[in-house]
């Protein structure tokens, strides 16, 4: 319920702007009040008159509208709200917010406030996945901006993927959670999550690694933190290595990851999501290996890395209450994963097929077979975020 809560709704220009009208109604139905600001391009998608009629207040658009400036003032406007919600939030609006640009009423209000800000990004999938947007989103998350969505699906432009604005009902739920405080079933629990690839040096400039993006581990760490767990996120050099609300420990080689896990113990739960190299080069060269020094390609001698998952699963004392492993296989998934589950000694194992044609490494989707002492079950095709949420809920249920 939102009784007594005043929301400043910033609508920026995207096809999803029409959904902001539903959001206004939902907020009002829940007992809240809404003051809407439209960017110039939002006014091309929805009429300020309609928004004004729905919200019962003039829809504001211009920074230099004297009446608005003298009677309300943009500073007062943003500070008097209990929450600012930018929905839809375009790539442009998010970039401006990340960089502190203020060249219209919407961006000025977002900058001139210490009121919490929630954003519901909406954009084409390529724009959402662009390196610049990813950097901006990481900055915004670091700055404490709440991000809802985007959803994955068919886009107005005909492409498929993440970028669709979260449904108004989901945004309302996030607003209510913000005010009520979400239930925190994992409060007081301490969790270790490993993620990403490891990098095993050959010489000071060359290394052996793998294609793990860190997406699944990041999503799991965030989902556990959202349920109140204190998360120590131990990551190799990955593209995704910045989960919100977690303590981050960055490592390079498997033996460093092992040492970091050891240091992070004791823990209630350990999730081993990292794609750890099985071997390291036994004697990495101290200086760059010169092509001229070898007639044939130089031989590499390998030594085994510690199997972190197995080591922690079989600890005689100080074993986490719940140890969760992953299995990345290429073919014959269930049989191989079943063998791995038995060999590692973990409590749960999440197996998926990472053959290149499945696009799991680096992709947003996966297809999990879940093993525990009762047997195994297929979770079916899901996004990595959905897998993370399901796993976090299962962890919470384990401790209930
Ligand atoms: O043996 P394999 O690498 O297939 O097992 C995968 C599982 O074991 C993952 O949970 C991974 O994080 C973990 N693992 C580990 N240390 C290793 C190798 C794998 O923790 N050296």
User: Is 308 touching ligand 1 by the criterion CB < 6 Å?
Assistant: yes
pTM confidence score: 0.66
**Which one of 193, 216, 276 would you pick to mutate in the ligand 1 pocket, going by the greatest count of ligand atoms within 8 A of its CB?**
276
User: Is 274 touching ligand 1 by the criterion CB < 6 Å?
Assistant: yes
Neighbours of 182 (CB within 10 A): 13
Instruction: Provide the token pair at 149.
Output: 């969505």
> Which atom in ligand 1 lies closest to the alpha carbon of residue 254?
21
Same fold, 6-180 and 190-399: yes
> Which atom in ligand 1 lies closest to the alpha carbon of residue 349?
10
pLDDT at 70 (0 to 100): 56
pLDDT at 106 (0 to 100): 94
**CA nearest neighbour of 246 among 234, 258, 254:** 234
Q: What kind and span of H or E run contains 379?
A: strand 375-383
**What string of DSSP letters covers 240-255?**
----TTSEEEE--SHH
Ligand 1 mean position, distance from CA 344 (Å): 9
Q: What phi, psi does 35 have (nearest 5°)? A: -115, 125
Pairing of strands 117-121, 247-250: unpaired
User: What's the burial of 31, exposed, middle or buried (CB within 10 Å: 0-12/13-18/19+)?
Assistant: exposed
**Which one of 194, 273, 307, 333 would you pick to mutate in the ligand 1 pocket, going by the greatest count of ligand atoms within 8 A of its CB?**
307
User: Is 128 touching ligand 1 by the criterion CB < 6 Å?
Assistant: no
Instruction: Provide the token pair at 137.
Output: 């989103």
**CA nearest neighbour of 110 among 158, 149, 143:** 143
Residue with CA closest to ligand 1 atom 2:
327
In the CATH scheme, what is the homologous superfamily, with its name and number, of domain 6-180?
Answer: Flavin prenyltransferase-like (3.40.50.1950)
Domain residue extents for the chain: 6-180, 190-399
Ligand 1 mean position, distance from CA 210 (Å): 13
Distances (CA, A) of 372 to 319, 326, 338, 350, 379: 17, 12, 10, 9, 13
Distances (CA, A) of 397 to 54, 200, 326: 42, 37, 20
User: Is 353 touching ligand 1 by the criterion CB < 6 Å?
Assistant: no
Instruction: Provide the token pair at 118.
Output: 């929630």
Q: Which of the listed CATH numbers 3.40.50.10300, 3.90.850.10, 3.40.50.720, 3.40.50.11750 matches domain 190-399? A: 3.40.50.10300
pLDDT in tens, the chain (400 residues): 899 899 999 999 999 999 999 999 999 999 999 999 999 999 999 999 999 999 999 899 876 654 555 555 777 788 789 999 999 999 999 999 999 999 999 999 999 888 999 999 999 999 999 999 999 999 998 888 999 999 887 777 777 878 999 999 999 999 998 998 767 899 999 999 999 999 999 999 999 999 999 999 999 999 999 899 999 999 999 999 999 889 999 999 999 999 999 999 999 999 999 999 999 999 999 999 998 888 888 889 999 999 999 999 999 999 999 999 999 988 889 999 999 999 999 999 999 988 766 666 767 788 899 999 999 999 988 889 889 989 999 999 999 8
Per-residue pLDDT tens over the stretch 169-196: 999 999 998 998 767 899 999 999 999 9
Neighbours of 154 (CB within 10 A): 10
Residue with CA closest to ligand 1 atom 6:
327
> Which atom in ligand 1 lies closest to the alpha carbon of residue 194?
12
Helices 17-29 and 48-55: crossing angle, nearest 10°? 10
C-alpha 360, offset from chain centre: 16
pLDDT at 358 (0 to 100): 66
pLDDT at 387 (0 to 100): 93
User: Is 254 touching ligand 1 by the criterion CB < 6 Å?
Assistant: yes
Instruction: Provide the token pair at 363.
Output: 């992709």
Q: Is 157 a catalytic residue?
A: yes
Neighbours of 336 (CB within 10 A): 15
DSSP 4: T
**Which one of 197, 306, 308 would you pick to mutate in the ligand 1 pocket, going by the greatest count of ligand atoms within 8 A of its CB?**
308
């Amino acid at each position: 319920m939102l009784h007594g809560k005043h929301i400043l709704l910033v609508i920026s220009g995207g096809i999803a702007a029409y959904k902001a009208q539903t959001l206004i109604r939902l907020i009002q139905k829940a007992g809240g009040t809404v003051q809407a600001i439209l960017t110039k391009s939002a006014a091309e998608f929805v009429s300020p008159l309609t928004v004004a009629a729905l919200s019962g207040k003039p829809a504001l658009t211009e920074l230099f509208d004297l009446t608005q400036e003298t009677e309300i003032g943009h500073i007062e406007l943003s500070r008097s709200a209990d929450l600012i919600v930018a929905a839809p939030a375009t790539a442009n609006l998010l970039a401006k917010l990340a960089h502190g640009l203020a060249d219209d009423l919407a961006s000025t209000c977002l900058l001139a406030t210490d009121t919490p800000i929630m954003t519901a990004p909406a954009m084409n999938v390529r724009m959402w996945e662009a390196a610049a947007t990813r950097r901006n989103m990481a900055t915004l998350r670091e700055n404490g901006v709440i991000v809802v969505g985007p959803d994955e699906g068919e886009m107005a432009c005909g492409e498929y993927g993440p970028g669709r604005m979260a449904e108004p009902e989901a945004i309302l739920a996030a607003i209510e959670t913000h005010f009520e405080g979400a239930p925190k079933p994992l409060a007081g629990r301490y969790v270790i999550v490993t993620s990403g690839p490891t990098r095993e040096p050959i010489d000071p400039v060359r290394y052996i690694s793998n294609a793990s993006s860190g997406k699944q581990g990041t999503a799991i760490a965030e989902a556990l933190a959202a349920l109140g767990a204190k998360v120590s996120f131990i990551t190799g050099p990955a593209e995704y290595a910045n989960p919100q609300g977690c303590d981050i420990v960055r490592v390079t080689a498997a033996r460093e990851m092992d040492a970091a896990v050891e240091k992070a113990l004791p823990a209630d739960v350990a999730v081993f999501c990292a794609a750890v190299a099985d071997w390291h080069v036994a004697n990495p060269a101290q200086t760059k290996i010169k092509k001229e020094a070898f007639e044939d390609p130089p031989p590499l001698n390998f030594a085994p890395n510690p199997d972190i998952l197995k080591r922690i699963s079989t600890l005689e004392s100080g074993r986490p209450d719940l140890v969760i492993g992953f299995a990345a296989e290429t073919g014959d998934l269930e049989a191989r994963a079943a063998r791995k589950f038995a060999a590692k000694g973990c409590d749960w194992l999440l197996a998926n097929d990472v053959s290149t044609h499945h696009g799991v490494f680096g992709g947003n989707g996966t297809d999990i077979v879940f093993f525990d002492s009762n047997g195994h079950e297929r979770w079916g095709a899901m996004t990595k975020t959905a897998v993370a949420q399901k796993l976090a809920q299962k962890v919470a249920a384990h401790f209930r």
